[in-house]
Amino acid sequence: MRPRRGKPAHRARSFGSHLSVTEAGRVLLITLAAATALSLLFPVFGIVACLIAVHGVALAVGWALAPRVELIGHWVRRAVVGREVVLHYRVRNVGRVPVYDADLVFEACPGAVGPVVSSGPVRRIAPGQTAEYTLTFTPQRRGSYTLSGPVCASTFPFNLYRQHRGDGERRSLLVVPDLVDLGRLDIPIRRRYHRGGQLLAGRIGESPEYVGNRPFRPGDPPRRIDSRAWARLSAPVVKEYQEEYFGHAALVLDTFGPTQTPAQAAAWETAVSVTASIAHELDRGDMLINVLAAGNDLYDLLLGRHITQFEKILEVLACVEPCRDAPFEGLLPRLADQLPNTSTVFLVLLAWDEPRRALARRIAEASCRCAVFLVGEPSSDEPDRASGVDVFRLVRPRPTPARGGAA
């Protein structure tokens, strides 16, 4: 799944000087502080004066030649955890003097997003000329993040200070879970009548089938009246269509479980990815997702058949966190209200114990199909049809954990 591009392009002009210290500048500042302290004991005033002069020249020249540029490029609003993101920018010098040793940097970048690597500084950008940059980074955690930048900064003349003009534009980045290959979901589906099914079918290119006429009954929509048949029979009649039935699904993500060890964190992240993968497969098929339950939160939504946003589920899963208290007792009554209109419930579980068995039994008692995806290692205590589970699949945790979070 590729990250989607945001706005086609953005332009930002940088004015108002800003200053930051480079690694070399920090070393020289420490050296200056040490030399100043030693000057009280030894006659090293010349060294101190030289260091101060170097810093003064770097500050003055850097401030005078701070870049006046225009940034043109694309930004991504959504990325996938563990997938590299590549950004392309063009920097145009709109000032009257050349820009030296210019590079693109982010003023504020969360560590979970990963270090942003630039294609490298450009030695010289003459007035009116344009330079191209490539920025790459690989998000390490799910979540919603805010970044400041990028900005065009110059380390000229001595690579001691990084000067740039203007503030970096604040940008949002949503890091969604990666998908796992679940293969084909061969799950028996019980279709149920969906009110407004003809409208939904029309949105995806299907046409309701005309099956005949019948006498008009109070409550029939006037648009279905067959005027020609009415004139012929001298009685109101309406056109009758085949009603639309859809498969309705519910997604339940188990958020109750420890995540202290790397193996536990890997299992949790795999469960989130499995939930996203199931939603993706259902969205590509002919099922409607009525509800998403993630821990104590229940999201009432309508997804699938290409009529609503699959992105809404990704937004929820991008920021979902494990909970400390078991949510099953509080979830059952709220989920029970949705079961009469649901044909299949997909449970993504981290364990198989009595509270989770009770949840599966309650789903089976509501005449719903129950598909369990258990994230963990094989064991003798696994779901079967006796526990109300129609389909069971074991998913092994992926070895690389990435803890979720928001910033």
Q: What is the pLDDT of residues 130-182, one digit of tens each?
A: 999 999 999 999 999 988 878 898 888 888 888 887 667 888 999 999 998 88
Enter the tokens of residue 54.
Answer: 């170097």
- 328 burial via Cβ count (<10 Å: 0-12, 13-18, 19+): buried
Please tell me the predicted confidence (pLDDT) of residue 399.
Answer: 67
Lowest mean pLDDT among 26-40, 229-243, 280-294, 390-404: 390-404
- Greatest Cα pair distance in the chain: 119
pLDDT above 60: residue 243: no
If we measure between CA atoms, which residue out of 198, 193, 187 comes closest to residue 341? Answer: 193
Cis before 157? omega within 30? yes
Please tell me the predicted confidence (pLDDT) of residue 178.
Answer: 92
Report the distance separating Cα 287 and Cα 11, nearest Å. 42
Q: What is the pLDDT of residues 25-53, one digit of tens each?
A: 778 788 878 877 777 777 777 777 888 88
Residue type at 91 in one-letter notation = V
Element (H, E) at 90: strand 85-93
Please tell me the predicted confidence (pLDDT) of residue 272.
Answer: 94
Confidence band for 15, pLDDT divided at 50, 70 and 90: very low
Strand, coil or helix: 298: strand
Please tell me the predicted confidence (pLDDT) of residue 202.
Answer: 44
Q: What is the overall mean pLDDT for the chain?
A: 79
The full DSSP string for 198-248 is HHHHHHTT--PPEEEEEE--TT--GGGB-HHHHHHHTS-EEEEEPPPEEEE
Strand, coil or helix: 178: coil
Lowest mean pLDDT among 7-16, 206-215, 385-394: 7-16
- Say if strands 237-241 and 210-215 run parallel, antiparallel, or are unpaired: antiparallel
Most confident range, picked from 21-25, 109-113, 372-376: 372-376
Please tell me the predicted confidence (pLDDT) of residue 2.
Answer: 44
75, 77, 80, 83 alpha-carbon torsion, rounded to 10°: 10
Q: CA-CA distances (angstroms) from residue 192 to 246, 260, 284? A: 6, 42, 19
- 302: phi then psi, degrees, rounded to nearest 5: -135, 105
Strand, coil or helix: 387: helix
- Average pLDDT on 184-193 reads 61
Enter the tokens of residue 31.
Answer: 């050296």
Lowest mean pLDDT among 85-89, 187-191, 284-288: 187-191
- 163 burial via Cβ count (<10 Å: 0-12, 13-18, 19+): buried
According to CATH, where is 2.60.40.10 located in the chain?
10-176
Confidence band for 190, pLDDT divided at 50, 70 and 90: low
Please tell me the predicted confidence (pLDDT) of residue 406.
Answer: 42
According to CATH, where is 3.40.50.410 located in the chain?
245-395
Confidence band for 400, pLDDT divided at 50, 70 and 90: low
Q: Which residues in 234-366 belong to E strands, given as ranges?
A: 237-241, 245-253, 287-294, 297-303, 344-349
pLDDT above 80: residue 347: yes
- 184 burial via Cβ count (<10 Å: 0-12, 13-18, 19+): exposed
Query: For domain 245-395, which CATH number applies: 3.40.50.300, 3.40.50.410, 2.40.33.20, 3.20.20.80?
Result: 3.40.50.410
- Predicted structure pTM score: 0.74
Asked if residues 48 and 40 have their Cβ atoms less than 8 Å apart, the reply is: no
**The CATH fold of domain 10-176:** Immunoglobulin-like (2.60.40)
Report the distance separating Cα 279 and Cα 275, nearest Å. 6
Please tell me the predicted confidence (pLDDT) of residue 19.
Answer: 66
381, 385, 391, 396 alpha-carbon torsion, rounded to 10°: 0
Please tell me the predicted confidence (pLDDT) of residue 6.
Answer: 43
Q: What is the pLDDT of residues 262-298, one digit of tens each?
A: 888 899 999 999 999 999 888 877 677 888 888 888 8
pLDDT above 60: residue 17: no
Please tell me the predicted confidence (pLDDT) of residue 193.
Answer: 46
